[in-house]
Amino acid sequence: GKPGQALTEEGIIGAIIELLQRNWALISIVVTLVILVVVPILILRKYVHLIANIFQNTHVPLSFTARDYPRVGGEVVDFRAFDGHLLKGVFLKPNPDASQKGVVIFAHELDSDKYSANRYCEALINDGFEVFAFDFRGQGESIPEDGYKVRLWPSDREQADMLGAIAFVEDWLEQQGRPREVGLVGVSRGAGAAVISAVHVPSVKAIMIDGGFSTDAYLEYLMQRWVGIFAKVRLVYENHHPAFWRFLRWLTIREVSRRQNCRFPSVRKSLHRLGAMPLMVIHGEKDGHIPVTQAQMIFELARGPKYLWICPRAKHNQAVVTQPELYGSYSVRFFRQHLCGMVQDEPLRGDGLLSQIAQPLDEIPRISYTKYTKPDRMRTRARK
């Protein structure tokens, strides 16, 4: 029994050795493929999981609490998001002593509520604009959606909320015999929701955003910032072509979309579809959460009349506090011109940076979003 067993084992080992000798080229190819394909896939899978966790847990502190702005009341209403979810909104009535102007829809930042419009839209209200502000699902007085966790990134849920608000105001205007024309004001996540929603609605005539970002571009920024800290494999984060980061970003967004059962529309791509939509971009120079390059990117990609104000010394969404009079002046002039079609003594001139100094806005330099240079606070240089 034992000699036969030993012979069988020796025969098997010999057959394996002979097989390896005869097929060494094929085996080398298989091993090479494993090294070149399977191993990188496993590495990417590991770091996509890591980045997806960062994506899901990234949080920007709230700019204002309820005590930081007056909770001026108004007519509270119920309305439906585009997907049928029940939301709460409020009409903030304009200054009765001012002439009636247009209607602006306000989209708040993460973990805030509709009443924060009293801070950002105070000048508009005083100038005669009606402001409709609403709570995104799971925020303020709007009920949450089962299974959906509200995060920093505007998804198709916030898009549905924004579209529902626009449709509600359109119907309200039609009932009053007024033109179905609105402006949008969005802050941080609300800024993204405003842009990705406006591409579907011809009634939106102008958009003002503060502290905005594009999910895909901001995620890529975070990847390059944090992966080098967490990654142990230098292959993942050193000396890569931009296409690598775009691919890793795509994998991450796909993974998070699968986990959360939602989509994350791109502000960057939506800007191409907005056509000649007038756009005002505001950003704090000292924003430590959303880099100024996000504002510059959005400004450069916009194709219609566009304005960029980098507010000196302002942190995230704090331009309205740092320079309240200028913030109000720019917002009023922007919507008077592009929503109401009013002729102004000092019109905003498109495609330029806004200056704190009273200089013609067509004498403003072109900037690149790839490298941020602090704005000249003393004078405005010619845009060429």
Residue 36 DSSP one-character state: I
Contact 80, 164 (CB under 8 A): yes
The model carries a pTM of 0.78
Distances (CA, A) of 362 to 322, 380, 384: 25, 10, 9
Q: What is the distance between the alpha carbons of residues 274 and 298, in angstroms, rounded to a whole number?
A: 12
- Specify the fold of 69-214+266-353: Rossmann fold (3.40.50)
Residue 316 has a CB neighbour count (10 Å cut-off) of 21
Tens of pLDDT along 132-171?
999 999 999 999 999 999 999 999 999 999 999 999 999 9
Quickly state the pLDDT bin for 356 (edges 50, 70, 90). Answer: very low
| Coil vs helix vs strand at 180 | coil
Tell me the one-letter amino acid at 330: Y
| Residue that is written with structure tokens 């039609």 in the block | 174
Extract the tokens encoding 190: 């609300």
Q: What is the distance between the alpha carbons of residues 286 and 172, in angstroms, rounded to a whole number?
A: 39
Domain residue extents for the chain: 1-57+215-264, 69-214+266-353
Tens of pLDDT along 276-306?
999 999 999 999 889 999 999 999 999 999 9
Tens of pLDDT along 197-253?
999 899 999 999 999 999 989 888 887 777 665 555 555 556 566 787 788 888 888
What φ, ψ does residue 39 adopt, rounded to 5°? Answer: -60, -50
Q: Work out whether the CA dihedral 35, 41, 43, 46 comes out positive or negative.
A: negative
- % of the chain at pLDDT higher than 90: 55
| Residue that is written with structure tokens 């507010």 in the block | 311
Contact 239, 348 (CB under 8 A): no
Q: Work out whether the CA dihedral 36, 38, 43, 47 comes out positive or negative.
A: positive
